[in-house]
């Protein structure tokens, strides 16, 4: 493990993606801790040309900035290690939960599609019931799509789209 050293805070670049993850309450807690006992865990930075890029320790860096520090304790890691930082996605329980949630979503979508298909089929069958006669003055056009027949009972656009999807029509 590399030995911790002191780095100037103004030379450390924080990627935009990481900046979005700042939690002010966490920064405040870490700042209080640094005031009480000092910085215990170094941040991780990597070299990118002539600048340092933050790899890990965003809240510690922000806490030191808030305290008015000009330097921070950190370790310089090789770019290869910075690219393959063990994160939440590599923990088996997190990955298992992600897979479970994706499967539940897929099952829900399949169920909704099946229900919409069944509802559309029932409405098409009801419109094509034997012995049903078209209203007076309306032609029977067997080539018209189910959504355009005179007997259509659809009232909303989403109902019509569901019917079109169920019957294979285009919308």
Locate the DSSP E strands across 23-114: 43-48, 51-56, 71-76
What does DSSP assign to residue 7?
Answer: E
Give the single-character DSSP code of 77.
-
Question: What is residue 44's predicted lDDT score, i.e. its pLDDT?
Answer: 92
pTM recorded for the entire structure: 0.47
- 164 pLDDT band (50/70/90 cuts)? confident
Indicate the pLDDT class of residue 154, thresholds 50, 70 and 90.
very low
Supply the pLDDT for residue 82.
Answer: 57
User: What is the rounded distance in angstroms from the CA atom of residue 30 to the CA atom of residue 60?
Assistant: 6
| Cα atoms found within 13 Å of the Cα of residue 106, Cβ hemisphere only | 6
Tell me the C-alpha distance between 32 and 93, whole Å.
32
pLDDT in tens, 95-153: 777 777 788 888 888 899 899 988 888 888 777 665 555 555 555 555 555 555 555 55
């Amino acid at each position: 493990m590399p030995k911790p050293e002191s780095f100037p805070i103004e030379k450390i670049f924080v990627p935009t993606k990481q900046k979005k993850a700042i939690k002010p309450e966490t920064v405040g807690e870490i700042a209080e801790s640094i005031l009480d006992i000092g910085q215990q865990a170094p941040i991780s930075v990597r070299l990118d040309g002539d600048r340092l890029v933050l790899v890990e320790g965003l809240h510690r860096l922000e806490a030191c900035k808030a305290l008015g520090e000009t330097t921070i304790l950190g370790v310089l890691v090789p770019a290869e290690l910075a690219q393959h930082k063990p994160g939440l996605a590599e923990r088996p329980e997190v990955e298992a939960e992600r897979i479970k949630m994706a499967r539940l979503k897929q099952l829900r979508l399949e169920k909704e599609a099946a229900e919409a298909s069944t509802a559309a089929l029932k409405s098409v069958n009801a419109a094509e019931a034997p012995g049903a006669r078209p209203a007076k003055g309306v032609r029977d056009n067997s080539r018209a799509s189910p959504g355009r027949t005179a007997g259509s009972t659809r009232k909303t656009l989403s109902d019509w789209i569901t019917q079109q999807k169920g019957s294979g029509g285009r919308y």
